[in-house]
Chains A and B, each alone.
Chain A
Amino acid sequence: MGMFRSKKGSSGTGEEEVYWIPKMIFTIAVASLTFFIIKAFIATTVNVGGLESALLTNLPQFSKDGFSKFDDKTGRVYPGVVDEPRFTTARMERIFKMKKPLIIGRFVLNQTAMDYMQNRQQVKVACAEPRVACTDSERYRIWQPIAQVRGKGEGGKTPYSEVRYATLANGKGVVVETVFIASN
């Protein structure tokens, strides 16, 4: 017990003994900061948001469970032909079902320019609207304002948009506008 006596006697720990705690914490803090500085200057990951969004845009167009016209007798998928009854958020959520996805998307069927000039229709883009299909409606509702307001690369949400021309099953032209939002 004499070992722990300060020069003032048996009052307990002295100055040195008290200061070892902040010294240790400081040492750990410096080591951690050094690690983070090193990490900031080294590439440790690859950004695949753009590529993944292009792949996932193809998924419902080429998959037999997607929104393209599908002939169940022959098993053939018609990728450029959209079957409107299959263009629903429920169907997209079944395909893209995942607990915590890092990328979510929305597909919107819009009029072609010619159609728009002849018969303008108001565009509604909420996930529950007809001609709109979201892969995860709840998450899209939360992520979209972040991706839109903060711009590309900021706020941890980056949008990737794409436009494709297709036809409906009845032969009418349509524009499929897609946007995928990736979490950085």
Chain B
Amino acid sequence: MAGLFAGKRGVEGVTAIGFLIIGLLFAGIVSLGIVERAWSDIKGETLEKNYIARDIALLLDAVYASPGDLEYIYSMKGYKYVVEIKNSKVTVNKPGGKEQNAAFYAYFDGGVKEEDKLNARFFPIPENPAPMLIVIVKKDGVVSIKENA
């Protein structure tokens, strides 16, 4: 085996190739994450996730700011993302996506008590062509959120 990769100096070729392979392996592992992220940016998924997170967060800002009761239905249209609303923050990510690739944006809930803070998670159904609808209801000053099946 050593003879196959032998350089002019004998068995040195095996060592050099071995280290080259190890170096490429390390670089490949690091680059994979970078390429995955870059590809996600090129496809526009990063922009979509950021847009939806900001859209829902600003919507919640407006809901909390309104003085009366209201009900608002937010359509996710064709987007199949997981939406999580927790700890005064909206997080949007692909189903099964890594946490570091999620987009998030905070909203102001007027300093409500911890037990009244919104805590919900919405999962898309891949085979369902109908858009996911998120219903936001404000009644007697308390805001709740649910999915419209």
- A interface residues with partner B (beta carbon < 8 Å): 2-7, 14, 16-17, 20-21, 23-24, 27-28, 31-32, 34-35, 38-39, 42-46, 48, 51-52, 55-56, 58-59, 62-65, 76-77, 79, 94-98, 101-102
Find A7's partner among B9, B19, B106, B110 (CB 8 Å cutoff).
B9
Which residues from 1 to 23 on chain B have a C-beta closer than 8 Å to any C-beta of chain A? 2, 9-12, 14-16, 19-20, 22-23
Do B26 and A62 touch across chains, with their CB atoms under 8 A apart?
Answer: no
Most buried by B among A20, A27, A58, A64: A20
30 contacts between A and B (CB under 8 A): A3-B2, A3-B11, A7-B10, A16-B16, A16-B19, A20-B20, A24-B23, A24-B26, A27-B27, A28-B31, A31-B30, A31-B35, A32-B34, A38-B38, A39-B41, A42-B47, A43-B47, A44-B41, A44-B50, A45-B46, A45-B47, A51-B58, A56-B65, A58-B62, A65-B110, A65-B111, A77-B67, A96-B111, A98-B88, A101-B106
Cα distance A2–B9 in the bound complex, in angstroms: 13
**How many B residues touch A, CB cutoff 8 Å?**
41
B47 to chain A, nearest CB (A): 5
Is B149 engaged at the interface, CB distance under 8 Å to the other chain? no
Shortest CB-to-CB span from A42 to chain B, Å, is 5
Smallest CB-CB separation from A94: which chain B residue?
A: B111
| A27 contact set on B, CB distance < 8 A | 23-24, 27, 31
Does B66 belong to the interface (CB within 8 Å)?
yes
Chain B interface (Cβ < 8 Å from any Cβ of A): 2, 9-12, 14-16, 19-20, 22-24, 26-27, 30-31, 34-35, 37-38, 41-42, 46-47, 50-51, 54, 58, 61-62, 64-67, 88, 106, 108, 110-111, 141
Task: State whether A42 touches B42 (Cβ < 8 A).
Answer: yes
Q: Nearest CB to that of B19 among chain A residues?
A: A20
Say yes or no: A62-B15 contact (C-beta < 8 A), given A27-B23, A94-B111.
no
Chain A residues within 8 Å of B30, by CB: 28, 31
For A42, list chain B residues within 8 Å (CB): 41-42, 47
What's the nearest-Cβ distance from chain B to residue A39, in Å? 6
- Once the chains bind, are A55 and B58 in contact (CB under 8 Å)? yes
CB-defined contacts of B27 to chain A, threshold 8 Å:
24, 27-28, 31
In the complex, chain A residues whose CB is within 8 Å of the CB of B12: 6-7, 14, 16
